[in-house]
Amino acid sequence: MLKHLNLRKKKQLSESIQVQYDSAGFEFIIIEHANFSAAFTLHGAQLLHFQLQDQQPIIWLSEAAIFNDQKAIRGGVPVCWPCFGKANNLPNHGFARTSEWSVESFNENTQGVEIEFLLRDSKETYKIWPYHFELTLKASLTDKIKLELISRNCDSKPFIYNAALHTYFNLSNISSCSITGLHKNYSDKLDASKLKTSSKSIVIDKPIDAIFQKSSTVIKLTDELFARNISIKNTGNDSEVVWNPWQNGAQMLTDMPDSSYNNMLCIESAITNPMGNVIESQQSRVLSTEISIESK
């Protein structure tokens, strides 16, 4: 796991959980549990890796991902918050994915690991987004991945936000995969943004950057070569975003090898409503995604 980063141990948090660091001092949480392996960075509280014993990884991480404190990491599950895409003077997809989080709590048992990451407002965030907040990413890792993003308004005024758990799935090959369970209505940014209708089963054979209305059922990503179905259940979202830049798009991204579009697909639990979601003072809301696999 992440061998190419030559990580070194900093601290043992519990039997399965270690803090490790790379040559630039960038910190990672590495989990080696009897049932799975997983990794996060404190930069963005980003899940970078999850793999069950005897399975291919579920989560895709770019081999060319750049790890520094300025950039979002290409792959894993970036936390987009408090905006999705571009908004006012905020960075694309918000500042949560390029902020340094802390580990708030952790816990493990024979089934798995629970770990909570926390981000609070700071002078820097307040300058570009003038609210006091607490953002918690609670990860429950067993034979499933469950991620809950809890947004808490600690300010005296309401705030409005958008968000996404921007999951990059690891595929054998995009041509061997199909998706069912997405809502039939979607708008595609690459095609004039007008509302379109999809069929029951979707095969991705060209670039896609589409916002589907929230699905009322479980979404299934079937991978024939890996002989598995990935099930995705989202809550607290208003949409599912599906993204693959394809070869031309990947060529324009310095942190993504040109041909790697073949092995990834983003299916995101997202709040993309242009009016945003409101959280009243001292209240919180939860956005979640739950990912499990079954062999075919």
3-class secondary-structure state, position 92: coil
Asked about 268 being catalytic, the answer comes back as: yes
Among 1, 55, 85, 180, contact with ligand TA6 (rule: CB under 6 A): 85
115/163 with CB nearer ligand TA6: 163
Which residue is listed with tokens 């031309």? 248
Closest by CA position to 167, among listed 268, 290, 44:
268
Nearest distance in Å: CB 40, ligand TA6: 17
92/201 with CB nearer ligand TA6: 92
Among 60, 129, 159, 243, contact with ligand TA6 (rule: CB under 6 A): 243
92/217 with CB nearer ligand TA6: 92
Closest by CA position to 149, among listed 15, 277, 2, 17:
277
Q: Among the candidate windows 30-38, 85-93, 131-139, 231-239, which touches ligand TA6 by CB under 6 A?
A: 85-93
Specify the DSSP element, H or E, that contains 251.
Answer: helix 246-251
Among 116, 209, 223, 240, contact with ligand TA6 (rule: CB under 6 A): 209
Using CA atoms, how far apart are residues 174 and 196, in angstroms rounded to an integer? Answer: 22
Among 39, 42, 72, 267, contact with ligand TA6 (rule: CB under 6 A): 72
Using CA atoms, how far apart are residues 80 and 199, in angstroms rounded to an integer? Answer: 28
Specify the DSSP element, H or E, that contains 284.
Answer: strand 284-295
Nearest distance in Å: CB 166, ligand TA6: 6
Specify the DSSP element, H or E, that contains 123.
Answer: helix 123-128
Among 33, 43, 166, 240, the active-site one is 166
Nearest distance in Å: CB 16, ligand TA6: 30
DSSP letters of 171-237? -S-GGGEEEES--SEEEETTTTT-EEE--SEE---S-EEEEEEPPSS-EEEEETTTTEEEEEEEES-
User: In this structure, which long-range contacts are made by residues 87-94, counting pairs with CB atoms below 8 Å and at least 24 apart in sequence?
Assistant: 87/162, 89/128, 90/128, 90/129, 93/164, 93/166, 94/163
Among 83, 137, 202, 241, contact with ligand TA6 (rule: CB under 6 A): 241
Among 148, 268, 280, 294, the active-site one is 268
Write the binding mask 151 to 170 for ligand TA6: x where contact by CB under 6 A, - elsewhere. Answer: ---------------x----
Asked about 4 being catalytic, the answer comes back as: no
223/240 with CB nearer ligand TA6: 240
Q: Per rule CB under 6 A, is residue 92 in the interface with ligand TA6? A: yes
Nearest distance in Å: CB 73, ligand TA6: 9
CB neighbour list of residue 122: distance below 8 Å, 6 or more residues apart: none
Which class for 132: exposed (0-12), middle (13-18), buried (19 or more C-beta within 10 A)?
A: middle
Q: Which residues in 258-277 contact ligand TA6 (CB under 6 A)?
A: 266, 268
38/267 with CB nearer ligand TA6: 267
Residues forming contacts to ligand TA6 in the complex (CB under 6 A) are: 72, 85, 92-93, 166, 209, 241, 243, 266, 268
